[in-house]
Amino acid sequence: MRYFSLFFLFSIACQPDTTADDEGDCGIAGCPDTGTDTGAEADGEALYNNHCASCHGADGQGLDDAGPDIVHELHHNDAKLIDVILNGDGDMEPVDVTEAQAQLIVDYMRAAWE
């Protein structure tokens, strides 16, 4: 009976954590934090750095022939910026992110450069 009780307690403790975020957590209760879930601004910055900075630079001012300065594009409303991120524009290919992630990117750009 003692073995069964210990097994039962262990199995409960090792169930997936259904409250965990899809990103930055292994989904198991007690799993060490990966440090990626530090708030929306950090998520937006990480998304920008992963998907945009290689062409537009860390500061949004463009990188030579890779991509143009986008800081001046912040006069557009969020819907327009999200549309460009999701669907591309001119030579820019669509970015493979969700609409919510695109919003985080826009929020980060506004917080960092406006």
Token pair 């991509």 in the structure block, residue: 67
The mean pLDDT of the chain is: 76
Convert the pLDDT of each residue in 40-88 to its tens digit: 667 999 999 999 999 999 999 998 888 999 999 999 999 999 999 999 9
pLDDT at residue 65, rounded to an integer: 81
pLDDT of residue 30 exceeding 60, the answer is no
Full set of structural domains in the chain with CATH: 1-34 (no CATH), 40-113 (1.10.760.10)
Pick the range with the lowest mean pLDDT from 10-24, 45-59, 90-104.
10-24
State the pTM of this model. 0.65
In this structure, the number of other CB atoms found within 10 A of the CB of residue 42 comes to: 15
User: Is residue 99 left, alpha or beta, with left meaning phi > 0 and alpha meaning psi from -120 to 50?
Assistant: alpha
CB within 8 A of 106, min separation 6: which ones? Answer: 44, 78, 81, 82, 85
pLDDT at residue 41, rounded to an integer: 67
